Structure 1
Amino acid sequence: MKTIFLYFTISFAAATVQQLYAQDLAQVKAVLKKQVLEKAAWAMQQRPETVTAHRASRSAGGIHDFYSEGDYWWPNPANVDSPYIQKDGQTNPDNFVAHRHAMIRFSRIAGALASAYRISPQQKYVKQLLVHCKAWFADTATLMNPNLLYAQAIKGRATGRGIGIIDAIQLMEVVQGLSVMERDAAIDPEVLTATKKWFAAFLQWLTTHPYGRDEMNAANNHGTCWVMQVAVFAKFTGNRELMQFCSNRYKTVLLPNQMAPDGSFPKELARTKPYGYSLFNLDAMTTICQVLSTKSDDLWNYQTPDGRSIKKGIAFLYPFIADKNKWPYKQDVMYWNNWPVAQPALVFGAAFFKKKDWFDTWKKLDHAPETEEVIRNLPVRNPLIWMGR
């Protein structure tokens, strides 16, 4: 009974905050409706494809284990059999990323179906998403193990790394999509229960395994993305303790340690892709505010004693999103021409702070990017499922 009470307490508090977005949600629907229904028509035709569909020859894990290889690691030209060497910011197209692609595909399917459900709540969308969730989280023949022990491996150096946990941010829109649909009569309680059990086990691994602890303590966007995905998964499973932990970490670690007084992210600006990583980190922090804010714990309006806040972060980057030619720092070594797109920081921030210029800029940007690097670093691609409830 206590668990049920806590679940409804969390849901009620979140719903109270989300009601602020009703008018903004209608505007977002108007912008995205045609595109959403087209994507949903595609998603309705897709069959499940999990990690078991692709076997990685270099993986130290089994068929049910997610495996990926570090993007910026390359063969050593001096000796092709020696350990890989790093070229920061330069993606090696020959590394194994089939499992990541399958997860991104799952995320896109879930986001499309749930977005269409927000526009037209038809049970066919619910049933189709459940088919994929059953394959990924319940069916013993095709499910993925609830850990990332073998993510972002490096040939000759590591069978997996904590840094690979960032790959799982693609599961956030799966969870959020289910959250949008879970009260529908078409929901299969067995699949929903199995899915929540899977994410509870994944949260246990994320918060206790050394890889998870390392990623949590990362000083850049990796630490932000750990908080972001743990917050989303904790909310889905009703883990109030972890939700509060993530809220506190945003206020006491992420903002003061990653954001400069002017709203910039120095650790991202120091990278070889400063523009893309700054956008990525801002989107992640904004999503944390969107997911965790309540009337009694308002992350949107929170600021550190010296004035660092999410509003300042959006305000810093906004001029360079509206006109990238004004960017005063070095250009990204790759994918410079592919950013910005319809960054979720703009639409979420515009809704909360009532900034019409932010919304108008978001409206004009690309809402359906196809560049792999952009998709990988844009885990929130369907704002409809994150706004209003």
Structure 2
Amino acid sequence: MLYRSLLFVFLLFPVVSQSQSFVKNIEQTLRKKILDDANWAIKQKPQTVTSASSPRSAGTKHDFFSEGDYWWPDSLNPDGPYIQRDGLTNPDNFVAHRILMIRFSRIVGALASAYRLTGDTKYVSSAFEHINAWFINPETRMNPSLLFAQAIKGRATGRGIGIIDTIHLMEVAQAIRVMEGNKIAKASDVTGAKEWFASYINWLMTHQYGKDEMEAKNNHGTCWVMQVASFAALTGNKEVTDFCKQRYKTVLLPNQMSADGSFPLELKRTKPYGYSLFNLDAMATICQILSDKTDNLWTFETADGKSIKKGIEYLYPFVVNKSSWTLKPDVMYWENWPVAQPFLVFGAVNLQNKTWLKTWKGLEHSPKVEEVIRNLPIRNPLIWF
């Protein structure tokens, strides 16, 4: 009996130790970046959606507003409805609120990472100044809905497709989870933030925009699950997290992935490389958020063999050597990918793959290109472990 117990311990502890070793490696890799980012973040003052506005918004100053990226004036009818040019970003569209949200996410994510690394409560205090401004202060808070996102001039005051803009609130939600146990975090602020996210989850699951986005066949459907799972993890909503698990298993993975691990609907786009990276990042993040001891999405396979591991194995060679990509280059930002993709670091730790971690370590961890940042909602991986 003693022999069996010792054998169990021997078999168990190398796995635990290995995972801890991976996370320690991540800490060492990011330490300087985290502290530098936090030094910048702690000097920043809160700016919310009330800090910028557009006369084209149909909402109030508390409503998030953005315009569809790929929509342009019609040269044949300059005053008429905009027309679409897939993959080509119109720089004149209003995206100030998205930029502010990304800034918010970067600040709070950096501060939570530094707190995770050092335990210094000054980072918690600073982070909650921003959290309070966005979610609680009646003068500056954002409404917990997305009625006016990805609007199109002459066509729509808002669309369900715009829900993808709030993927940048995921690291805010995760940061709150990391910091909420510290006594510096006021209970009223934590409760207020959780109430905001609970209201937003309800809107995402009941409003037609949310329902439409949930049913999207491509990365938009993936990102709906990803962010709802993130927000539900913060609010402790097990019913919603269980729903998201089942959706990953029965809808996202079987319907979006082909037998070779690729995502055909992303490959059809004018930016197939960037969208493939983005969708795989989102699926890996879902696995990171929702996996637990009794239900590990990292090892889950469909009946026909589709899995997150197969998705990483398909795309990994093109990350290591982008010149081997078999399709046409993306119409924009081809030269800016890949960066330190979340699927590499999450996959490395959970599937114990040192090669993936080594590749992740050697990629760009602080991208400067706005489009890359927009499509990289996980910029602070340490807070997710």
Q: TM-score range by the shorter chain?
A: over 0.9
How do 1:129-148 and structure 2 match up within 5 A?
A: 129-148=127-146
| Secondary structure class of the residue paired with 1:68 | strand
Per the TM alignment, residue 132 of structure 1 is displaced from its structure 2 partner at its CA by 0.2
Q: For residues 326-363 of structure 1, give each alpha carbon's deviation from its aligned partner in whole angstroms, at most 9, with x where no partner exists.
A: 11111100000000000010011011111111111100
Distance, in Å, in 2 between the alignment partners of 1:171 and 1:148 is 13
- Residue 69 of structure 1 corresponds to which residue in structure 2? 67
Per the TM alignment, residue 19 of structure 1 is displaced from its structure 2 partner at its CA by 8.8
**What letter matches 2:211 in structure 1?**
R
TM-score by length of 2: 0.95
**What letter matches 2:101 in structure 1?**
M
Match of 1:275 among 273, 276, 301: 273
Per the TM alignment, residue 20 of structure 1 is displaced from its structure 2 partner at its CA by 7.2
How do 1:216-365 and structure 2 match up within 5 A?
A: 216-365=214-363
How do 1:179-198 and structure 2 match up within 5 A?
A: 179-198=177-196
Distance, in Å, in 2 between the alignment partners of 1:136 and 1:353 is 36
Any unmatched runs of 5+ in structure 1? Answer: 1-16
Per the TM alignment, residue 21 of structure 1 is displaced from its structure 2 partner at its CA by 3.4
Provide closer, same or farther for how the CA distance between residues 128 and 20 of structure 1 changes in structure 2, counting only shifts above 3 A.
farther
Comparing both chains, which one has the higher relative contact order based on Cα–Cα distances under 8 Å and sequence gaps of 6 or more? 1
**What letter matches 2:33 in structure 1?**
Q
User: What stretches of structure 1 move > 3 A for 4+ residues in a row?
Assistant: 17-21
Provide closer, same or farther for how the CA distance between residues 379 and 194 of structure 1 changes in structure 2, counting only shifts above 3 A.
same
Q: For residues 176-206 of structure 1, give each alpha carbon's deviation from its aligned partner in whole angstroms, at most 9, with x where no partner exists.
A: 1111111111111111110000000000000
What number of residue pairs does the alignment pair up?
A: 371
Q: For residues 197-226 of structure 1, give each alpha carbon's deviation from its aligned partner in whole angstroms, at most 9, with x where no partner exists.
A: 000000000000000000000000000000
Any unmatched runs of 5+ in structure 2? Answer: 1-14
- Residue 7 of structure 1 corresponds to which residue in structure 2? none
**What letter matches 2:287 in structure 1?**
C
**What letter matches 2:51 in structure 1?**
A
Q: For residues 47-68 of structure 1, give each alpha carbon's deviation from its aligned partner in whole angstroms, at most 9, with x where no partner exists.
A: 0000001011100000000000
Distance, in Å, in 1 between the alignment partners of 2:154 and 2:291 is 43
Provide closer, same or farther for how the CA distance between residues 74 and 263 of structure 1 changes in structure 2, counting only shifts above 3 A.
same
| Secondary structure class of the residue paired with 1:47 | coil
**What letter matches 2:134 in structure 1?**
W
- Residue 172 of structure 1 corresponds to which residue in structure 2? 170
- Residue 373 of structure 1 corresponds to which residue in structure 2? 371
| Secondary structure class of the residue paired with 1:151 | strand
**What letter matches 1:161 in structure 2?**
R
TM-score by length of 1: 0.94
**What letter matches 1:81 in structure 2?**
D
- Cα RMSD of the aligned pairs, angstroms, is 1.1
Is 2:19–2:352's contact at 8 Å kept on the other side of the alignment?
no
Distance, in Å, in 2 between the alignment partners of 1:279 and 1:325 is 15
Q: For residues 265-302 of structure 1, give each alpha carbon's deviation from its aligned partner in whole angstroms, at most 9, with x where no partner exists.
A: 00000000000000000000000000000111110000
| Secondary structure class of the residue paired with 1:202 | helix
Distance, in Å, in 2 between the alignment partners of 1:276 and 1:370 is 16
- Residue 76 of structure 2 corresponds to which residue in structure 1? 78
- Residue 58 of structure 1 corresponds to which residue in structure 2? 56
Is 2:144–2:200's contact at 8 Å kept on the other side of the alignment?
yes
Determine what percentage of the aligned residue pairs are the same residue: 63
Per the TM alignment, residue 161 of structure 1 is displaced from its structure 2 partner at its CA by 0.2
Match of 1:29 among 15, 24, 27: 27
